[in-house]
Amino acid sequence: MVDLTVAQRPSRFLARLPSLPAEAPRVDRTPPEARARRRLRACGECDWVVALPPLRAGEKADCPRCGHTLVKRHFRPAQRSMALALSALLALAMALSFPFVSFTVGGIGNRIELSQTATTLIGFHQPVVAIAVILTIIVLPAVYLLGVIWLQLGLLRDEPLPASRTIARSLAQLNPWMMADVFIIGALVSLIKVAGMAQIELGASFWAFCVFALLLLLTTQSIDADWMWFSLAGEPRAPEGTRTGETAAPQGLAGCATCGLVNRLDPGGRGRCRRCGERLRPRLPHSLQRTWALLAAAAVMYVPANVYPIMTTTSLGQSSPSTIIGGVVELIQMGSWPVAAVIFVASVIVPVGKLVALAWLCLVVNRSSELNAATRTRLYRLTEFIGRWSMIDVFVVAILVALIRAGSLMSITPGPAALAFGAVVVITMLAAMTFDPRLIWDTPLPRRSRRPTGAGPHDRHPEGTPG
């Protein structure tokens, strides 16, 4: 008789679980390790197959090959995420209900709300930038928090709500595009730039949004994806014959990037995750080609982003366009060295560094060795992490354009470089996502494979065997 997987018969699986006290939800009473057989994972960065150890609250399991964190266990994960998500939504509602910031110069002033940092850009024919701002600081974070609440509510009731698996798959996709924390840094930079020219007053919305950004960050870090997926759909057994201590692809396996489950691929190298339904491939298709194409597009867009003005300042009837580098020089002349350093790093060093780093990884990906593969993987993690922080300059423009509106006395309008630079940020983020770090570890050269000139063939170690 054919044995069905756990995902295909969740009621039978739950019926076999050990009897537990009824006063607490199952999701918080015992970890997955206490209710399932040996649990295997394929590292998403080096494809190494490992068995997860039992974990207590506060512990995590890292890949022994590359150091990538596979699972991080939290205490009472459902209640923790629910409380943080509800608090973050409340803080966001307050941030949208009160004035954000106001300024006064020469008896003329202006006061804005949070949403105006995006809507004002539409009046200056920058709808794409406006949509990017409103999505990254309000819409996507709100959708993410509502999804977390929906999921955890079902888990606390021991009965997942409809569409829970679809929502759980979406959470990981939304995470990189939420930039409330970056917006706060952009707001501080913009206020420091204006403080020398006008009187600034922070509204209740500003402080509420600071709290929201912190709570959103804590919410994303509180998600225990391993526990959540186990509670939603159980843990189907690993494919028969799976060997740990080896890479998954040569075994015809692939680890799901969404829920972590190890799955067997069909002979064509394709498949779907048995637990969450995500499409699976042994490697991201055409990873290097797509990364190169995106890097080329980002490099092209980076030229107008620096040549054209990112904003134009009008003071006493005289207009002064400012490029990214020009803004940094202006801040240095004003004596704001720390702010100038932040803008220079975020708007110049980070985009250029990311372009160079990803291009270099694409060039050397087929020439990695066991000794330098870990270093190159850490470089990839860094480029993936810092990419979103380049949005600081775009947020600075959005805030200043909305705030500084005093006619010919003082006003700021966005320049064409705002759209070009925003495109650079988005494209480089996509380039990092399309690059598959597992390629760095595919058939790495042995550590001492580079033998001296004149050595015979018998002096070389077999491929994949460390010297």
**271-285 exposure pattern, b = at least 16 Cβ within 10 A, e = fewer:** bebbbbbbebbbebe
What does the CA dihedral 349, 355, 360, 365 come to, rounded to 10 degrees? 130
Instruction: Compute the distance between CA of residue 207 and CA of residue 201 in angstroms, rounded to an integer.
Output: 12
Instruction: Compute the distance between CA of residue 376 and CA of residue 230 in angstroms, rounded to an integer.
Output: 32
Contacts of 71 (CB under 8 A, 6+ apart): 41, 52, 55, 60, 61, 224, 226, 260
The helix (run of H) or strand (run of E) holding residue 120 is helix 116-123
Question: What's the pLDDT score for residue 406?
Answer: 66
Q: Is 276 helix (H, G, I), strand (E, B) or coil?
A: coil
Question: What's the pLDDT score for residue 233?
Answer: 85
Question: What's the pLDDT score for residue 326?
Answer: 85
* Sheet containing 108-113: order of strands: 108-113, 99-105, 199-202
Q: Pairing mode, if any, of strands 311-315 and 279-280? A: unpaired
Question: What's the pLDDT score for residue 105?
Answer: 73
- 171's tokens: 């959470």
Q: Pairing mode, if any, of strands 60-62 and 99-105? A: unpaired
Helices (H), 334-457: 337-344, 350-364, 373-386, 392-403, 417-434, 438-441
Instruction: Compute the distance between CA of residue 102 and CA of residue 205 in angstroms, rounded to an integer.
Output: 11
Write a three-state SS string for 321-361.
EECHHHHHHHHHHCCCHHHHHHHHHHHHHHHHHHHHHHHHH
Q: What are phi and psi of 403, to 5 degrees?
A: -85, -50
Question: What's the pLDDT score for residue 19?
Answer: 36
CB burial of residue 58 (10 Å; 0-12, 13-18, 19+): exposed
Q: What is the pLDDT of residues 40-82, one digit of tens each?
A: 999 999 999 999 988 888 889 999 998 999 999 888 888 999 9
Instruction: Compute the distance between CA of residue 261 and CA of residue 275 in angstroms, rounded to an integer.
Output: 7
Instruction: Compute the distance between CA of residue 86 and CA of residue 123 in angstroms, rounded to an integer.
Output: 34
Neighbour count for residue 450 (Cβ, 10 Å)? 11
Enumerate the domain spans of the chain. 25-76+233-280, 77-226+285-441
Question: What's the pLDDT score for residue 27?
Answer: 58
Question: What's the pLDDT score for residue 64?
Answer: 92
Question: What's the pLDDT score for residue 370?
Answer: 67
Question: What's the pLDDT score for residue 193?
Answer: 79
Q: What are phi and psi of 82, to 5 degrees?
A: -60, -45
Whether 204 and 347 have beta carbons less than 8 Å apart is answered as no
Residues of the chain with pLDDT under 70: 1-31, 33-37, 106, 316-317, 368, 370, 406-409, 443-467
Q: Is 60 helix (H, G, I), strand (E, B) or coil?
A: strand
Question: What's the pLDDT score for residue 189?
Answer: 87
Q: Could you tell me the pTM of the whole model?
A: 0.84
Question: What's the pLDDT score for residue 31?
Answer: 64
Whether 222 and 74 have beta carbons less than 8 Å apart is answered as yes
